[in-house]
A and B are shown apart, each in its own frame.
Chain A
Amino acid sequence: MWRRSASFVLDKHHNNKPISLTPSLDSPPPLSDSMAEVNPNPNPVSAYYQTRAKHHGIVTSDWLEQAQAAVVRYPDKDSPVAGRRPFSVIEEFDNWRQQPDLAEAVAAIRALAAVIRASEATTMMELEIELKKASDTLKSWDTTSISLTAGCDLFMRYVTRTSALEFEDFNAAKARVLGRAEKFGEISYKARKIIAVLSQDFIFDGCTILVHGFSRVVLEILKTAAQNKKLFRVLCTEGRPDKTGVLLAKELAKLDVPVKLLIDSAVAYSMDEVDMVIFGADGVVESGGVINMMGTYQIALVAHTMNKPVYVAAESYKFARLYPLDQKDLEPALRPVDFGVPVPPKVEVERSARDYTPPQYLTMLFTDLGVLTPSVVSDELIQLYL
């Protein structure tokens, strides 16, 4: 098997956890060995993409209110429960994750904040260990979600090496960390607004923009541009198999933006009339490349060949400490693919939900830290984690 992933560590991991390729997704995969105990979520289908598919059926912008409502709901629903049965991060996280339009990283940080609230630790060290455990559980529960991992890492980093340590009093430090965690929803919301404002300079009158799949940030950018009375046209890919592109097209049509739907395979055909490509991202990795919905890589390749700028809009908390060497060098995120017709027996189906676009095919990243070249990402990550 020489055509394997370059990262032998992951290869080993694959061997330990064979991925079931049976058409029925509900049947649990063979639990080979100890991996099953480590990973509390034996379902091979990516939880992250399941939630995404579910949420993007409903597109609302008032998710902040939902988040606020959830905060109010929190004490009367969970605190009596906490007394009876042991507190579980995963449940907490799952709770937050159910909010449509609430970013996964925000849910993760909120869940970790709940850990702090429920904790009986009396020193910073104890609290850190508890948090570490909780974040490890969370991360192993859904290894496919990059923003979950990135959110956990970011928060852990904040707790361990920030000005929180400047406080001599433990309670004050705890209160501050909690306060910031609760503000994180707002930070994420603000990030999206900042990105939308920063990107306005790049959208000029009369341009045609190609977008792929559904991304909240991209929608925000286009919405802001429409509000600024810019004249532009959008080409939306269909975004098979969950057809998220259709949803984006619907949202844009509501804003009276001229929009055209393409099937995913019509990208190269339409590229000559496109002025720029804008993607969202599931995660931005250390090389400056992005991991995003399946099809991003090929669109970036086509755009690169035809000399069209490719912009990626991503909040900075999606920066993840990953360095994929090739497409297969990632935790596989699988999802069901509906072909419309029954798949003949003995035919394998590629069910991966995302691909990796290397940095040389990206022109700029629009983030809340500013408009960045891909090389800045590694710089930021090194500054934070080294």
Chain B
Amino acid sequence: MPDVQSTVLEFVNKLRKRKIEGSQATARCTVELLRSVISHHRVPHHANQASALIDAVKAVGAQLVAANPVELAVGNVVRRVLHIIREEDLSLATAAVAGLDLLDASDDDDEDVNNGKGIGYPAMSAAVVAAAARSTLRPPSLQTLLEGTPESATVPYTSSSGADSESKTADKSSITRKLKHDVIEGVNQLIHEIAGCHEQIAEQAIEHIHQNEVILTLGSSRTVLEFLCAAKEKKRSFRVFVAEGAPRYQGHLLAKELVARGLQTTVITDSAVFAMISRVNMVIIGAHAVMANGGVIGPVGVNMAALAAKKHAVPFVVLAGSHKLCPLYPHNPEVLLNELRSPSELLDFGEFSDCLDFGAGSGSPLLQVVNPTFDYVPPSLGGHNPSYMYRLIADYYSADDLVM
């Protein structure tokens, strides 16, 4: 346990100092850390295994999110892990209840009548319990509006109470071990998914990029690089325009890598995007995060590219791994979900040091530098069918975990 605590602290420090860059790397580190938290976590035997695990993950998750609230991938991954725990617990509970149901099916009928009003769990068949438990995981829907028995549903759905009434402690401890095993299995799958997201996205490249097309991209994203290269490998020939992505010029790096892989590449300045857009067949960008309303947070300058694409009716495609899908709604994202970086990326300190002098005049320099990292593209401009984003979110996250 202490060594886990120290790795958590180490990671928190890294996040705080912005030592880890890119949402994929962050997501990967986060989920690996959470896996070790889960595997090192020891719960007292009598306690409810699942909720203890959830609490532990939540506690670590809160620290990580607080360390870098702008990197939404951290929160997303923590929520995904929580969802995995809940799901595994549910499937175990359903299995346990189904087993119970076979044993005392005869009791069911007479209890049914007795219960009348406050229908509890013994009166319901295993199928009902499973359905009720599933509805606690799923977001509320019209279907469950009238059915909804959240009070009674939560009782049977924890694994410990499922086993309590009937089985011995030996059986129970095997169940708890099974839960942990299943959860770690699930988390491993998640790690696999995050690691393989580039390949999975790149598989679709051939369907989107056609012969002799001109693609515009902005900033540097590994997903975009893999996407373009995948199309190239399938013998598509096309041109790529790369906006250089001032002030960090990550576009230069991307252009270099694209050329190394044999793609025809043109570097343009960010301000030339509008001039070139009429020659472009498709804009492809990588996202920093995709919000629940379908809005996209991407490298600075993306909104401009999206507006230009909209003006010329050019398809605007956003590539994002599932770990970038954030279940939150953006409120004032231009300010609250943005990060201001060092002015040294824009201006040379030596040359401009007079203008930036805090000692002169009123005490604040006359020259101010604002260097935001991200740009927000509202859902009306970007993405494919952003209004159906809620579907994906319902698949990946539990409603209970949205607020951490």
A163-B124, A370-B399 as given contacts; A383 in contact with B119, CB under 8 Å: no
Q: Are A372 and B113 in contact (CB under 8 A)?
A: no
Q: Are A317 and B145 in contact (CB under 8 A)?
A: yes
Within 8 Å by CB of B109, from A168, A175, A176, A316, lies A168
A375 at the interface (CB under 8 A from B): yes
Q: Which A residues lie within 8 Å of B145 (CB)?
A: 154, 187, 316-317, 368
Interface bin, chain B? 35 or more
Determine which residue in A155, A169, A368, A375 has the highest number of CB atoms from chain B within 10 A of its CB, and name it: A375
CB nearest to B125 among chain A residues? A166
Q: Which residues of A contact B141 (CB under 8 A)?
A: 369, 380, 383-384
Most interface-central of B140, B142, B294 (chain A CB within 10 A) = B142
In the complex, which of the residues B115, B123, B125, B146 contacts A162, with contact meaning CB atoms closer than 8 Å? B146
**A381 within 8 Å of B by Cβ?**
yes
Contact A370 B146 (CB under 8 A): no
In the complex, which of the residues A176, A369, A384 contacts B119, with contact meaning CB atoms closer than 8 Å? A176
- The residues of A that contact B387 with a CB separation of less than 8 Å are 373-376
The reply to whether the CB of B147 lies closer than 8 angstroms to some CB of chain A is: yes
| Number of A-B residue pairs having CB atoms within 8 Å of each other in the complex | 90
- CB of A166 within 8 A of CB of B124, answer yes
Q: Is residue B368 contacting chain A, with contact meaning CB distance below 8 A?
A: no
Task: Say yes or no: is A201 at the interface (Cβ < 8 Å to chain B).
Answer: yes
Q: Which of A129-159 contact B (CB under 8 A)?
A: 154-155, 158
Q: Chain B residue with minimal CB distance to A177?
A: B146
With beta carbons under 8 angstroms apart, the residue of B112, B131, B390 that contacts A172 is B112
| B139 x A166 contact (CB < 8 A) | no
Known: A163-B131, A180-B146, A376-B390. A369 touches B139 (CB 8 A): yes
CB contacts (< 8 Å) of A380 on chain B: these are 141-143
B142 contacts A372, C-beta separation under 8 Å: no
Query: Would you call B128 an interface residue if the criterion is a C-beta within 8 Å of the partner chain's C-beta atoms?
Result: yes
Tell me if B116 and A166 are in contact (CB < 8 A).
no
Q: Does A2 interact with chain B (Cβ within 8 Å)?
A: no
Q: Would A375 and B112 count as touching, CB distance under 8 A? A: no
| Interface residue? B388 (CB, 8 A) | yes
Q: State how many angstroms separate the Cβ of B381 from the closest Cβ of chain A.
A: 12
Q: When A158-B147, A175-B117, A364-B293 are in contact, do A166 and B128 touch as well, CB less than 8 Å?
A: yes
8 A Cβ contacts from A71-120 to B = none
Complex contact B146–A155 (CB within 8 A): yes
Structural contact, B116 and A184, CB atoms closer than 8 A:
no
Residues from chain A with a CB closer than 8 A to the CB of B292 are 371
- In angstroms, Cα B338 to Cα A40, docked, is 61
B165 beta carbon closer than 8 Å to chain A: no
Q: What sequence of 0s and 1s flags, for each residue 136-166 of chain B, a beta carbon within 8 Å of any chain A beta carbon?
A: 0001111101111000000000000000000
Q: Does B349 contact A (CB under 8 A)?
A: no
User: In the complex, which residues of chain A have a beta carbon less than 8 angstroms from the beta carbon of B362?
Assistant: none
B329 contacts the other chain (CB 8 A): yes
A residues in contact with B390, CB < 8 Å = 370, 372-373, 376
B331 is an interface residue with CB less than 8 A from chain A: yes
Inter-chain contacts of A368 with B (CB < 8 A)? 140, 145
**Chain A residues, Cβ within 8 Å of B115:** 172
Q: In whole Å, how far is B358's beta carbon from the nearest beta carbon of chain A?
A: 30
- Decide yes or no whether A30 CB sits under 8 A from chain B: no
B332 within 8 A of A: yes
Chain B proximity mask over A166-196: 1 for CB below 8 Å, otherwise 0: 1111011001100110001001000000000
Indicate whether B127 reaches chain A with its CB closer than 8 angstroms.
yes
Give Cα distance in the complex from A380 to B128, angstroms: 21
Which residue of the partner chain B has the closest CB to A168? Answer: B109
Tell me whether A381 and B142 are in contact (CB under 8 A): yes
Which of A201, A316, A381 touches B331 (beta carbons < 8 Å)? A201
Contact A375:B388 (CB < 8 A) given known A166-B128, A180-B146, A369-B141: yes
Closest to A373 in B: B387
Beyond A158-B147, A166-B124, A376-B390, is A369–B142 a contact (Cβ under 8 Å)?
yes
Residues of A within 8 A of B131 (CB): 163
Known interface pairs A172-B112, A373-B387, A375-B388; A180-B128 also in contact (CB < 8 Å)? no
Interface core residue of B125, B127, B143, B329 (most chain A CB under 10 Å)? B143
Chain B residues whose CB sits within 8 angstroms of the CB of A184 once the complex forms: 146
Q: How far is the CB of B79 from chain A (nearest CB, A)?
A: 15
Say if the beta carbon of A319 comes within 8 Å of chain B: yes
Within 8 A of A (CB), among B269-318: 292-294
- In whole Å, how far is B400's beta carbon from the nearest beta carbon of chain A? 12
- A44, chain B: closest CB distance, angstroms: 32
- Assembly CA distance A166 to B132 (angstroms): 13
Question: In the complex, how many angstroms separate the beta carbon of B280 from the nearest chain A beta carbon?
Answer: 26
Give A325 Cβ to nearest chain B Cβ, in Å: 20
Please determine whether A162 and B112 come into contact, CB atoms closer than 8 angstroms.
Answer: no
Residue ID in chain A nearest B292 by CB atoms:
A371
A154, A172, A374: residue with the most chain B Cβ atoms closer than 10 Å: A172
- Tell me the bound Cα distance from A310 to B388 in angstroms: 18
**Any B CB within 8 A of the CB of A204:** yes
Residues of A within 8 A of B125 (CB): 166
CB distance from B376 to the nearest CB of A (A): 14
Q: Which 4 A-B pairs have the closest CB atoms?
A: A373-B387, A375-B387, A158-B146, A384-B142
Q: List 7 A-B contacts (CB under 8 A).
A: A172-B112, A172-B115, A172-B116, A175-B117, A179-B119, A316-B142, A383-B143
Q: Given known contacts A158-B147, A371-B329, A380-B142, what 11 new A-B pairs fall within 8 Å (CB)?
A: A162-B146, A162-B147, A166-B125, A166-B127, A175-B116, A187-B146, A316-B145, A370-B390, A372-B390, A373-B293, A379-B391
